Amino acid sequence: MNSENMTAYVELLKKLIGMRTVTADVEKVNRAQETLRTFLTGHGLVCTMEELEGRRILYASTVPGKTPDLLLNAHVDVVPAENDSQFSPVIDGDWIVGRGSGDCLGNAVCAAKTLCEAGPGVSIGAIFSSDEEAGGRTTEHMVRLGYAARRLVCVLDNFDDDNICFAQKGIMYLKLSARGTSGHSSTPWLFDNPIDKLVTGWARLLEKWKNPAKDDQWHASIAGTMLHAGIIANQIPDTAEMTVNVRTTRPEEEESIMKFIRETTGLEVEYVSGRPPLAVRSDAEDLDLLAEVMAEHFGKKPGFTRMNGATDACHFAAGSAPVAIIGIRFSGAHAKSERASLSSLESYSLMLGKLARTLKQG
């Protein structure tokens, strides 16, 4: 790592981590966007601040307009931390440890470094979104406003051993509900317990639903994530609810999945929210170009992979430019151990600069 060249970016990353940009704290997330704008305008970048329902969304570019050759995307919001110490970043050799160091503030700083050091005539822009951890409506809003790429979108939000992710699963958040009649828990035979219905229905679903095996992951999966029933320990409730997280591979399977769950469990099934899946042709011309640049830069040919998780990449699916999901080396996303490699941050910014210059030549 070139320490002298990296100092300002490491300090920027430390500052952003310390700002506690948890998604729900809109004021702090907005403050981080202003911090980034001040940094980028100070390096001569063209910056525009859009807004959605009070959330600020920063766009920065080396060229005027909304459609650079290469569009980067990273988010500045983070998930909550188990304790405040995670917002006090620590440098441990090549690693920076702290909430958001990898997911996704380290990638946001990588995008900033790429922009600042792009060089003359290079066409790069970046959307810094502010609610990715809650669905990414800010990125969706920017796409609706016309922000796009002429050649290639790179979403910086995933590290997979320097491979290129070209597809990700969609998400459906569903609420399963059982209704009954409430009463005193000492006489359960007099009442209709919705907890029993919920548990029985969920058990039937797990018997019939085949979640992916580790070596065969590219079909829909389901996981229960939240339960709610009752208000006191000695009363049978009248309602029991469960939130489930379904990961889909095709938009058209959503309706059939909901029907299958409803018929199998006998429960009410309500669609709460979700994101569509993303699938890009892995042989798209500019993805091949990205692979060539990465192979030259990292010294090995990248593979093309698919991911079970979800990023803001899905919001670019309708555009004409192919979408790649890549990112700096990090580990422990959403965990106490979250950390990111500073040398990888530098390396990816250099690679993305090479990519932009190669796109310009083409």
pLDDT tops 60 at residue 3: no
Separation of alpha carbons 125 and 131, rounded Å: 19
Fold: same for 3-168+277-361 and 170-275: no
What is the mean pLDDT of the segment spanning 316-327? Answer: 93
**Cα 174 to Cα 246: distance, rounded to the nearest angstrom:** 8
Nearest-angstrom CA–CA distance, 99 and 108: 13
pLDDT for 284 equals: 84
pLDDT band at 276 (very low <50, low <70, confident <90, very high): confident
Tokens coding 352? 């993305």
What's the rounded mean pLDDT across residues 76-90?
96
**Mean pLDDT confidence for 218-247:** 96
DSSP state of 301: P
In tens, the pLDDT along 154-210 reads 999 999 999 999 999 999 999 999 999 999 999 999 999 999 999 999 999 999 998
41-47 own/partner pairs: CB under 8 Å, 24+ apart: 43/115, 43/116, 45/115, 45/116
pLDDT higher than 90, residue 275: no
Residues 339/97, Cβ–Cβ less than 8 Å:
yes
Mean pLDDT of the chain: 95
DSSP code, position 3: H
User: What pLDDT is recorded for position 309?
Assistant: 86
> Could you give the CA distance from residue 261 to residue 202 in angstroms, rounded to a whole number?
9
pLDDT one-digit tens code per residue, 104-118: 999 999 999 999 999
Q: What's the CATH number of domain 3-168+277-361, 3.40.50.10320, 3.40.630.10, 3.60.15.10, 3.30.830.10?
A: 3.40.630.10
CA–CA separation, 58 vs 131, rounded Å? Answer: 12
Residue 281 pLDDT exceeds 90: no
Compute the distance between CA of residue 357 and CA of residue 360 in angstroms, rounded to an integer: 5
Residue 69 pLDDT greater than 60, yes or no: yes
The residue-averaged pLDDT of 236-250 equals: 96
- Cα distances (angstroms) measured from residue 33 to each of 23, 30, 109, 149, 156: 13, 5, 12, 22, 17
DSSP per-residue codes, 19-78: T--BTT-HHHHHHHHHHHHHHHHTTT-EEEEEEETTEEEEEEESSSSS--SEEEEEE--B
Q: Hey, what are 124's tokens?
A: 């790069």
In which band, very low, low, confident or very high, does the pLDDT at 263 lie, cut at 50, 70 and 90? very high
* Residue 318's pLDDT band (cuts 50, 70, 90): confident
SS3 assignment, position 9: helix
Shortest CA distance to 315 belongs to which of 148, 176, 88?
148
* Inter-residue contact 163 to 302 (CB < 8 Å): yes
Specify whether the CB–CB gap between 177 and 220 falls below 8 A.
no
Computed over its alpha carbons, how large is the radius of gyration of the chain? 23
Chain centroid offset of residue 234 CA: 42
Tokens of 5: 């060249």
Q: Does domain 170-275 have CATH number 3.40.1190.20?
A: no
Q: Which residues of 292-303 are buried (b: 16+ CB within 10 A; e: fewer)?
A: ebbeebeeeebe
pTM for this model (two decimals): 0.89
Percentage, residues of the chain above pLDDT 90: 88
Reduce the DSSP state of residue 316 to 3 states and report it. helix
- At a CB cut-off of 8 Å and minimum separation 6, what does 354 contact? 293, 296, 297
- Cβ neighbors of 201 (< 8 A, separation 6 or more) are 176, 178, 264, 265, 266, 267
What local confidence, expressed as pLDDT, does residue 282 receive? Answer: 76
Report d(CA 34, CA 11) in Å as an integer. 16
Give me the pLDDT at residue 215, please: 67
Question: Quick one: pLDDT at residue 362?
Answer: 65
Domain boundaries, the chain: 3-168+277-361, 170-275
DSSP secondary-structure letter at 354? H
pLDDT tier for residue 293 given thresholds of 50, 70 and 90: very high
